[in-house]
Amino acid sequence: MIRRKERLSRRFLFVGVLILFVGCLGIAQEEAKALVLQEMSWTDVAEYLKTNDMVIFPLGSTEQHGPHMPLGTDFYEAVGMSKKISARTGVLVAPVLLAGYSVYHSGFAGSLSLKPETMEEVLFETAEMLMKYGFRRFMFFNYHGGNRIVESKVIHRINHTTEAYAVAIGAGASFQRYSDDIRGIYDEHAGIKETSIMLYLKPELVRMEKAEKPEFKLSPKIEEIFEMGRQNPELYALLSSLQGVPEETKKGGASHELSSNGIWSSGDPKRATKERGEKTVNAMVNSAVKFIEAWKKTKK
């Protein structure tokens, strides 16, 4: 009887290890399926173009994300989600820029910023080169608010001056309607939501022991808008002209003028979880994958 129990125990242990191995192998294979331009040879790209003319440009930034997360947070988020989309659709990913438009974060050391016109030109010229080889469908996965105007302009330029097509598939895309379940909390930058995403995508770069709730220093004008907005919510439309703007505008809306540590959140980033991040990432990736698979079915 004892020997029988031992055999059953060993059998269950073997099955458990086998399941774990297969699961890990599946995850590794999924990641391996992501196609990244810089990791391919020219013959790989030529072969790819025989059946696919799509490409994804991840748009992120190199800017402060509080004392607990890396400067490259937005870059890792944009590239990480783009690679997950690639793994499921077979669409090539072309990371072009490490920096974005982030001048309003320059009060914190290490933040980089490109002028919008510089960024637009680099993206457009890169797209032109790829058009030369046969790429015709361009998708921009942006995950940094400061890049939105650039993304909009370069998409318009591609659509109105070339035979190619361009569309946004990241944050701000028409079909990306996912909202986090953080209720009653202002959580705009490097807070609970973004920390959660990084705990899922790049946990080794997150230092939760340094995460702390910021002290806000709102300018009198911003406080007035928030106060009056309770009765007239339409006034909140003015916040984009007051927050996330360079110090030189004298509106008190640069990052270091608003936050003691660079985090834009009324919540505590220690509430962040890998599970919350996975939910956010999966929702955005699923929406983009659904769009791409539908676009593949349209006539060229």
- Residue 193 CA to residue 276 CA, distance in Å, equals 7
Mean pLDDT of 16-22: 43
Please report the pLDDT score of residue 136 as a whole number. 98
214: its two tokens: 């910021």
6 class by beta-carbon count within 10 Å (0-12 exposed, 13-18 middle, 19+ buried):
exposed
Classify residue 7 by its DSSP letter: H
Quote the CA–CA distance of 147 and 60 in Å, as a whole number. Answer: 8
Question: Are 134 and 92 spatial neighbours (Cβ–Cβ below 8 Å)?
Answer: no
Residues 172-199 have a mean pLDDT of 86
Name which residue leads in pLDDT, 11 or 46.
46
Q: Is the confidence at residue 18, as pLDDT, over 70?
A: no
Q: What is the mean pLDDT of residues 167-180?
A: 86
Residues 243-264, mean pLDDT to the nearest whole number: 95
Q: Residue 141's pLDDT is what?
A: 98
For residue 279, give the nearest of 178, 188, 175 by alpha carbon.
178
Instruction: Return the pLDDT at 15.
Output: 44
Looking at every residue in the chain, the average pLDDT score rounds to 90
Place 11 in a pLDDT band, splitting at 50, 70 and 90. low
- Residue 23 pLDDT class (50, 70, 90 cuts): very low
Domain assignments of the chain as residue spans, ordered by start: 34-181+281-296, 217-258
Residue 170 banded pLDDT, cuts 50, 70, 90: very high
- Rounded to whole angstroms, the Cα distance separating 51 from 49 reads 5
- DSSP three-state, residue 140: strand
| Helices within 71-115 (DSSP H only) | 73-89
The yes-or-no verdict on residue 179 having pLDDT over 70 is no
Per-residue pLDDT for 26 more than 80? Answer: no
Confidence of residue 2 (pLDDT cuts 50, 70, 90): low
Residue 191 near residue 265 (C-beta atoms within 8 A): yes
**In the predicted structure, residue 192 carries a pLDDT above the cut 60:** yes
Burial class (CB in 10 A: 0-12, 13-18, 19+), 4: exposed
pLDDT for res 226: 84
CATH 3.40.50.10310 corresponds to the domain 34-181+281-296: yes
Lowest-confidence pick of 101-105, 185-189, 190-194: 185-189
